[in-house]
Amino acid sequence: MASHRKSRSTGTRVAGIRTPALATAALTSVALLSQTANAAPSDDRPSLEEVEKKVDDLYRQAGSATEKYNAAKEKTSKQRKKVDTLLDDVAKRTQKLNDARTELGSFASAQYRTGASVPETATLLLADSPQDYFDQNQLMNRLTGRQKTAVDDYVTQQSATMKKRREATEGLDTLTDSQNDLKTAKSTVQKKLATARELLSELTAEEKARLAAIEKKKQEEAARKAAELAKQQAAAEEAERKRQEEAAQQQGSGSSSGSSESSTPGSSNGTQAQKALAFAQAQIGKPYVWGATGPGSYDCSGLTQAAWKAAGVTLPRTTYDQVNAGTTVSVSQAQPGDLVFFYDDISHVGLYVGDGKMVHAPKPGAYVREESIFYDGESSIYSVVRPA
4: annotated active-site residue = no
Q: Please pick, among 75, 360, 363, 386, the residue that the annotation labels catalytic.
A: 360
CA atoms of 351 and 344, how far apart (whole Å): 18
Q: Please pick, among 348, 357, 363, 386, the residue that the annotation labels catalytic.
A: 348
CA atoms of 186 and 284, how far apart (whole Å): 26
Q: Is 259 within 8 Å of 244 (Cβ atoms)? A: yes
Nearest CA to 325 among 372, 378, 283, 276?
A: 276
Q: Please pick, among 300, 339, 359, 361, the residue that the annotation labels catalytic.
A: 300
- Label the pairing between strands 357-360 and 348-354: antiparallel
Diameter over CA atoms, the chain: 155
Q: How far apart are the first and last CA of the chain?
A: 108
Query: Mind giving me the DSSP string for 306-363?
Result: HHHHHTT-PPPSSHHHHTTSSEEE-GGG--TT-EEEETTTT-EEEEEEETTEEEE--S
300: annotated active-site residue = yes
Ramachandran angles phi, psi of 269, nearest 5°: -65, -45
Point out which residues pair with 350 in neighbouring strands. 340
Ramachandran angles phi, psi of 282, nearest 5°: -70, -15
Q: Is 349 within 8 Å of 300 (Cβ atoms)? A: yes
Active site residues: 300, 348, 360
